[in-house]
Amino acid sequence: MARRYDPERRQRIIDAAIRVVGAQGIAGLSHRSVAAEADVPLGSTTYHFRTLDELMVAALRQATDSFAKGAAARGALQDPHTDLAAELAGWMGEWLTDDRTALELEYELYLAALRRPALRPVAAEWADSLAELLSRRTDPVTARALVALMDGICLQVLLTGARYDEEYAREVLGRVMGVGEAG
């Protein structure tokens, strides 16, 4: 029996794509795998997302929007009395010590932009939004450097399986901001 009007179907497809990438990586993403995960007909995935790039853009946008909302909700990032380096180091600690699946998924989609130009604008939005938020506490160049350093630390921990060292992160973030020991 055909399903009736299903206004949530597009969202279920995006959520299913995120689960597929989380479980199987980008290589496991196909309209067929997403349709099966979302429990929708294959034609629904291609109706809502003509190409896999369109589907990945939607999934990455959802991940970055979720991150941006979380960043905006952290009032301490905007409080001039908060130790910004400590706050950022603690934030990365939350990402890296809680369930890493969401962070791994976001980075997998983010790095897919290397080979999929359609993803690049959305990937850039993530870095731009965080740099804009940090620019409220520091200059724009330092804000971008902090974003790059945070990306680097997160990727190193994810790729090597090393334990996240929050004190090290706080120290190097502070150095980029011109706070702390230089040598």
CB atoms within 10 A of CB 63: 23
Asked if residue 181 is part of any domain, the answer here is: no
Residue range of the domain that includes 34: 1-50
Tell me which residues of the chain have a pLDDT lower than 50: 1, 182-183
pLDDT at position 183: 41
pLDDT for the residue 48: 94
Same domain as 67, residue 33:
no
The answer to whether residue 182 sits within a structural domain is no
The residue out of 11, 31, 50 marking a domain boundary is: 50
Residues 34-67: tens digit of each pLDDT: 999 999 999 999 999 999 999 999 988 888 777 7
